[in-house]
Amino acid sequence: MDFKKLEDKQSRFNNTVVKNIFDKIENQIKSSVGPLHMAVSEDNKEFSETQEFTKLLDTIKRAKNERWVMDDNSKTVMNEGRGSIAAISNDITDVSLYLILKALKTNNKIVLFVEDKIHEVTKKIIEIVNNECKEEKYNTYIDYCEYKDFKEIYDYADKFESFIFINNMDKYFKFTDKVKDKSIIYSSYGTMSLYLDDKNLKDELLKMDEYVFNNNIELDLIKEVSVEEAVERINKNIDNYAAVIFTKDTKKAYYFIENVNAKQVFVNRNPDKEYVFEIDDEKLTKLKRIYI
């Protein structure tokens, strides 16, 4: 990690240039199947999860299609990047790519802090992104830092304006005790509500437990209530991102689908391949009102 580059002046946000960089990153990932496959092979020896190119491409499309808050600038309102952001996560590759793209969209520099070892695929993606930014003469800074202990991050805290913390809640509270006077955005990998209707489906629950633990998801488990009560409870959670139901009752499944408020609904399936991480651009920018 080069601290001097964190202090270098960031290019002025240019919507056209950044969208062009997005397109080039997408094309590079499509055409870098060889090098990325080699990186995947190395990762599969080291890590338990498998990488999927389609998920990387889907992540780019999703980031492109989500609202571009920097486009909202006018004569009276201006959105600006926060500056330098440190993202602390366990390096799920598509999440790391998403964070990098979000940093570009909001005109921020970003460093991914990863405990122990970063994925080779993530390293390759950072290389691709930096090469495309350089080609477009778009000055920013995207990098990673492997750490063994949180103390290493505490020592770097003054170098960053904001932190994105994608980790468990206990570590988050310890982190906030040490890092003061900084904007810290807490986000688990996601929030999920699970309604288990049938005790015979407990094997599915065990699989979900493993998935939730590995991917740092906040899970609200609901059981031994009616489907109506379950939906009512889920709908009280305004941050609910995904809702899952395991049931053998078709009527309950349809009621759940039609009435639950969630961006994603899963019926009798573990959402391990379709679940996606999200963060609002507004959290990564600061709003300036202009009076003339």
Mean pLDDT of 160-184: 81
pLDDT score of 253: 92
108 near 85, Cβ under 8 Å? yes
The DSSP bridge partners found for residue 184 are 163
Token pair of 41 as six digits: 């092979």
Confidence of residue 70 (pLDDT cuts 50, 70, 90): confident
pLDDT score of 272: 65
Distance spanning both ends of the chain, measured CA to CA? 41
Rounded CA separation 184/178 (Å): 12
249 near 222, Cβ under 8 Å? no
Q: Which residue has the higher pLDDT, 207 or 257?
A: 257
The two domains 3-187 and 190-267 share their CATH topology (first three levels equal): no
Domain 3-187's class? alpha beta
Share of the chain above pLDDT 70, in %: 83
- Judge whether residue 205 has pLDDT over 80: no
Mean pLDDT of 165-180: 78
- Judge whether residue 20 has pLDDT over 80: yes
Rounded CA separation 84/96 (Å): 16
3-state secondary structure of 266: strand
pLDDT score of 101: 92
Q: What is the pLDDT of residues 206-222, one digit of tens each?
A: 777 766 765 566 778 88
Q: Which residue has the higher pLDDT, 174 or 232?
A: 232
pLDDT score of 254: 93
Backbone angles phi, psi at 180, to 5 degrees: -105, 160
Q: Does domain 190-267 have CATH number 3.40.50.11060?
A: yes
93 near 125, Cβ under 8 Å? yes
C-alpha 35, offset from chain centre: 24
Distances (CA, A) of 175 to 52, 167, 188: 32, 10, 14
Domain segments of the chain as ranges = 3-187, 190-267
Q: Which residue has the higher pLDDT, 64 or 92?
A: 64
Confidence of residue 184 (pLDDT cuts 50, 70, 90): confident
Mean pLDDT of 178-195: 76
